[in-house]
Amino acid sequence: MAAEQPDRDGRLTPPLSRMPFGGLLMVEMARGGQGHYSWLESVGPTLGDVLEVAPDLVVGRWVAITSFDSGPLEPTAEELSQGWRTENGVAVSPRVDSPFDLPHDQFDEWYVFADPIEKPKITVFVNNCNFQLSRPDYAGTDRVGAALLAATVSEWQDLFWAQLEELEPLAYMAQGDRLMVVGKEAEVIRRVREALGANHGR
């Protein structure tokens, strides 16, 4: 397992580390913090798993969906009648009563707000293969390749954290090649991390 190193806030930010998953498979998980946010990143669990263990991440809040199955979400006529709307390619939910009313597939990205967001202008990160919260794994990469990878990932991370600072969502959730959950409520993120680890045989 690669050694953990402090991130910019001095908190441990390891690359994705392999942990037992269902006895035979493997789950990889990393965690860290940035400013007011705590985060986790994992391979294996899904957004549905997160909603089961922490529905309070979205209930009573508004969710801006920037990616649904790697593209913009087009609300159905029924959803529009229930208060869904789209602006600038972003689908914004009405106040969420049940987490399972939120449509999700693969390569999904959500920003969760305490109040409705108006005229959202949000860069999508989940569909970019160079974006991750953890440090990249340089195994099998030469020095030049490792330097290029590190610079590219760092650039996207800087853009992501700058956007979160500007938008100030309560939480960010995305599922593409990996699951990423970011939130201001550190206790909720800890609960998600521990529950996902237990449910997947850690």
Question: In the 8-state DSSP scheme, what is residue 133?
Answer: S
pLDDT in tens, 83-94: 999 999 999 999
Tens digits of pLDDT across the chain (202 residues): 344 333 434 333 444 443 333 332 334 789 999 999 999 999 889 999 999 999 999 999 999 999 999 999 999 999 999 999 999 999 999 999 999 889 998 899 999 999 999 988 999 999 998 899 987 765 556 677 667 777 888 899 999 999 999 999 999 999 998 999 999 999 999 999 999 876 544 4
Q: Which domain holds residue 139?
A: 17-199
User: Is 3 part of a structural domain of the chain?
Assistant: no
Structural domain total, the chain:
1
User: Is 1 part of a structural domain of the chain?
Assistant: no
CA distance 78 to 122: 25
User: Is 10 part of a structural domain of the chain?
Assistant: no
Sorted by sequence, the CB contacts under 8 Å of residue 80 that are 6+ apart come out as none
User: Is 11 part of a structural domain of the chain?
Assistant: no
**DSSP-derived pairing of the beta strands 25-34 and 37-43:** antiparallel
CA distance 9 to 141: 27
pLDDT in tens, 34-55: 999 999 999 889 999 999 999 9
